[in-house]
Amino acid sequence: MRATAAVTLAKGAPFELREVELGDLRPDEVLVEVAASGICHTDLICRDQWIPVPLPAVLGHEGAGIVTSVGSAVTKVAPGDRVGMTFLSCGSCPSCLVAKPAYCHSFFEHNFGASRPADSSSVLGDLHGHFFGQSSFATHSVASERNVVKLEDGADLAVAAPFGCGIQTGAGAVLNSLAAPAGSSLAVFGAGTVGLAAVLGGMIAGCTTIVAVDVVPERLELARELGATHAVDAREEDAVEAVRAATGGGTNFAIEATGSPQVLRQCVDSTAPLGVTAVVGAPAFGTEVSLDVTTVLTGGRVVRGVVEGDSIPDLFLPRLHTLHAQGRFPVDAFMTFYDFDQIEQAAHDAESGRTVKAVLRMH
């Protein structure tokens, strides 16, 4: 069938809306009429080839929409269902078998290969598709049964779309990966989508001190509105000392959500003994960090990577949607909506910091 897609032709090239042809569904696939898609930092760094996704391609991996048809083996959803789309995993490797699909042994093949992982074919002919099992910068998307999550009837698809990556990553880092207990302290370095979702995750967890660190005053103000007890402008003061002062000597948990190795060092240095730093921000391949070994060793400090907030999407995303419906997870406070043909403006606003979470409406 025919669809309109935003095509990335080459490294750093602008998104171009083009008519594309979608291939036939396979038994385990789902055709989704995309209503909305978030623009994630990962889409933009893949466009710029920080992560070497094959081009030309249709990117987008925070899609939501309505199922229009399903393959012969699909049982989880049916035509007419509202769904959110998320990352793809194989379902059979050692990580998937212990319910850790975000650490699938073939995660890069399934999500960054921009082709069907089984045989490297594309759902879009000469264009690379199936990015994160969806390529949701399009009016229609071919997804896998594994990476669609059924939503409630009447769910606002534009708000639901970004839950599939950035929002579950931030909230899940606190609630799943760190399992921050009530009364603990949390420092979030980077108050973008992931960082603000982490602040809200800290609120849900019952953290009593939540420190947001950024260099954009408007984002720090928003972090305070969403529950941060302290806001640190890293341009105006020493972030490590400010976090230590706010948390009585060091934070129990820190989240690095900027992708900067210098900020990662600040995160580790700001933690108390036995503190844990979650590395969430994605820098270019090959980026290295320098840490003081004595600080890590003698304090028993932990530095760990976190992918997709350790989410099991079919379980975790419905919980987040319920919290949102109850008014306890107001992530729409940092969303800005754009028409699909405004994708270049939306991407620019996201990169410049003018917009926290840009969401495209396809219709």
Angle between helix axes 239-246 and 261-270 (nearest 10 degrees) is: 30
DSSP bridge partners of 188: 212, 255
For each of the chain's 363 residues, which pLDDT tens digit applies? Answer: 899 999 999 999 999 999 999 989 999 999 999 999 999 999 999 999 999 999 999 999 999 999 999 999 999 999 999 999 999 999 999 999 999 999 999 999 999 999 888 777 778 878 999 999 999 999 999 999 999 999 999 999 999 999 999 999 999 999 999 999 999 999 999 999 999 999 999 999 999 999 999 999 999 999 999 999 999 999 999 999 999 999 999 999 999 999 999 999 999 999 999 999 999 999 988 999 999 999 999 999 999 999 999 999 999 999 999 999 999 999 999 999 999 999 999 999 999 989 999 999 998
Residues near 208 by beta carbon (within 8 Å), at least 6 away in sequence: 182, 183, 184, 185, 229
Give the model's pLDDT for residue 214. 98
Q: Cα–Cα distance between 156 and 356 in angstroms, integer?
A: 19
What CATH code is assigned to 2-165+329-361?
Answer: 3.90.180.10
Question: What DSSP state is assigned to residue 90?
Answer: -
SS3 call for 82: strand
Q: Cα–Cα distance between 305 and 222 in angstroms, integer?
A: 26
Amino acid at 29: E
How is domain 167-307 classified at the architecture level of CATH?
3-Layer(aba) Sandwich (3.40)
For 231, phi then psi, to 5°, come to -130, 130
Q: Is there a contact between 122 and 167 (Cβ–Cβ < 8 Å)? A: no
Question: To which H or E segment does residue 232 belong?
Answer: strand 230-233
Token readout for 198 is 């982490």
Give me the residue spans of the domains in the chain: 2-165+329-361, 167-307
Count of helix runs (H) and strand runs (E) in the chain: 12, 16
Q: What separation in angstroms does the CA of 173 have from each of 191, 210, 253?
A: 14, 14, 10
Question: What DSSP state is assigned to residue 127?
Answer: B
pLDDT tens, position by position, 265-301: 999 999 999 999 999 999 988 999 999 999 999 999 9
Q: What separation in angstroms does the CA of 225 have from each of 212, 230, 232, 291, 333?
A: 11, 11, 14, 33, 10
